[in-house]
């Protein structure tokens, strides 16, 4: 879990308005600065940073707790803890009357973001995932065996197993034990996932129920334009993957077909473990964003046949570049 030193970002935090409740919070922050965040708080902090950088927020832009909680899919409590931690790092400042605001442009917090994204997820989750991808875990496991192997409590283990079950690559067996479901754990499976996506995603664009949300379209274009211009130079692999997932899942949602939308979302969850671990050059990331923009432009013109063709070519191009490179399942140090 992440633990950062106050002031790491290199600039003094914007002064908060210290009155009443704010003074109390400032005192709480001071006493908590040295404490490590829990895995949940670390994830929420990371996602707040990713949100700020994806939205290209500027100095003094507001970070509404309720909005962040809804986007991240958690309660306001861990969001509040994460925001106060970012205050201690000089990334955010707190106004007792108005809430939390960016203390500097999101583009200027790369050093802080890198430390949070260096460990892109819950360590136990990643360890189990790594062991399964490396086939060090059998198809069926028991909680008792996993608790001994990873030296964790039952409650901590179940939290991670529940997440894996939600993501679709682990199922509870009748009676006891857990069974791993098919994963993208080989070059062949990775290629199959791309062939599947190339079949269903363009079909969604051509669906008679396809309907574009103009607000979401404008937001996607803005974010992809930011990546294409210079965001690809500073965004890390986790941020870029999440922006890519948002692009594909949003278009799938516009299809109006619940099965296409669910399939794309589940495929992204299965891809996440593989994509996080790929060491890729930055230039293809810029090219992907430019291709995304071309697809969105075709959708905006209501040229859906052109958009579907571009989307299929985009997915096929990624398949050839990634799968044929044969570097997807390289061994990582410590794995």
Give the per-residue pLDDT at 327.
55
Q: Which of 31, 226, 238, 282 is nearest to 116 (CA)?
A: 238
Instruction: Report d(CA 40, CA 79) in Å as an integer.
Output: 10
Q: Is the pLDDT score of 199 beyond 80?
A: yes
Q: What percent of the chain has pLDDT over 70?
A: 82
pLDDT digit string (tens) for 150-162? 999 998 899 889 8
Give 315's pLDDT tier (boundaries 50, 70, 90): very high
| Nearest-angstrom CA–CA distance, 186 and 134 | 9
Domains of the chain: 21-117 (1.10.10.10), 123-180 (1.10.10.10), 187-323 (1.20.120.530)
Question: Which residues have C-beta within 8 Å of that of residue 75, sequence separation ≥ 6?
Answer: 69
Q: Residue 322's pLDDT is what?
A: 77
Taking only the tens place, the pLDDT of each residue in 80-126 is: 999 999 999 999 999 999 999 999 999 888 888 877 776 556 778 88
**Residue 221: CB partners within 8 Å, gap ≥ 6?**
293, 296, 297, 300
pLDDT of residue 299: 98
CA distances for 27 relative to 20, 23, 32, 88, angstroms? 11, 6, 9, 11
Model pTM score: 0.68
Least confident of 5-9, 43-47, 74-78, 240-244: 5-9
The predicted model gives 290-303 an average pLDDT of: 98
For the cut 70, the answer to whether the pLDDT of residue 261 exceeds it is yes
- Is the pLDDT at 6 greater than 70? The verdict is no
- Which residues touch 97 (CB under 8 Å, ≥6 apart)? 17
Chain length of the chain: 335
Residue 123, token pair as written in the block: 């360590």
* pLDDT mean over 16-27: 39
Q: Are strands 62-63 and 92-95 parallel, antiparallel or unpaired?
A: unpaired
- 3-state class of 132 per DSSP? helix
| Residue 156 exposed, middle or buried by CB count within 10 Å (0-12, 13-18, 19+) | middle
pLDDT digits (tens, 9 = 90+) for 205-255: 999 999 999 999 999 999 899 899 888 887 777 778 888 999 999 999 999
pLDDT of residue 56: 84
pLDDT, residue 9, reads 40
Structure confidence at residue 326 (pLDDT): 53
| Overall average pLDDT of the 4-14 stretch | 41
β-bridge partners, 62: 101
**Among 81-95, 113-127, 129-143, 162-176, whose mean pLDDT is lowest?**
113-127
**What DSSP state is assigned to residue 13?**
P
Q: Is the pLDDT of residue 8 over 50?
A: no
Q: Is 201 helix (H, G, I), strand (E, B) or coil?
A: helix
State how beta strands 92-95 and 178-180 pair: unpaired
Radius of gyration over every alpha carbon of the chain, rounded to an integer in angstroms? 21
Q: What is the overall mean pLDDT for the chain? A: 82
The DSSP code sequence of 17-53 is B-STHHHHHHHHHHHHTTSPPPHHHHHHHHHHHHHHH
């Amino acid at each position: 879990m992440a633990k950062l030193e106050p002031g790491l970002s290199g600039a003094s935090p914007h002064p908060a308005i210290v009155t009443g409740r704010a003074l109390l919070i400032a005192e709480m922050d001071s006493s908590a600065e040295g404490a490590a965040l829990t895995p949940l708080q670390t994830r929420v902090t990371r996602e707040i940073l990713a949100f700020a950088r994806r939205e290209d927020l500027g100095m003094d832009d507001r970070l509404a707790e309720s909005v962040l909680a809804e986007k991240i899919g958690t309660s306001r409590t861990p969001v509040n803890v994460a925001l106060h931690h970012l205050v201690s790092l000089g990334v955010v400042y707190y106004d007792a009357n108005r809430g939390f605001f960016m203390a500097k442009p999101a583009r200027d917090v790369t050093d802080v973001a890198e430390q949070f994204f260096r460990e892109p997820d819950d360590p136990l989750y990643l360890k189990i995932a790594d062991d399964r991808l490396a086939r060090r875990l059998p198809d069926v496991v028991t909680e008792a065996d996993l608790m001994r192997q990873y030296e964790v409590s039952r409650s901590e283990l179940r939290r991670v197993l529940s997440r894996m079950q939600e993501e679709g690559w682990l199922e509870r067996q009748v009676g006891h034990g857990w069974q791993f479901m098919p994963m993208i754990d080989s070059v062949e499976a990775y290629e199959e996932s791309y062939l599947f996506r190339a079949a269903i995603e363009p079909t969604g664009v051509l669906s008679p129920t396809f309907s574009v949300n103009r607000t979401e379209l404008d937001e996607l274009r803005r974010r992809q334009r930011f990546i294409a211009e210079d965001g690809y130079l500073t965004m890390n692999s986790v941020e870029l993957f999440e922006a890519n997932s948002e692009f594909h899942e949003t278009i799938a949602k516009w299809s109006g077909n619940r099965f296409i939308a669910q399939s794309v979302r589940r495929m992204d969850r299965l891809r996440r473990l593989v994509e996080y671990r790929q060491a890729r050059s930055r230039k293809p990331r810029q090219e992907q964003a430019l291709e995304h923009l071309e697809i969105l432009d075709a959708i905006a013109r209501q040229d859906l046949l052109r958009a579907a063709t571009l989307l299929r070519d985009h997915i096929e191009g990624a398949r050839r570049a990634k799968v044929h490179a044969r570097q997807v399942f390289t061994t990582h140090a410590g794995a």
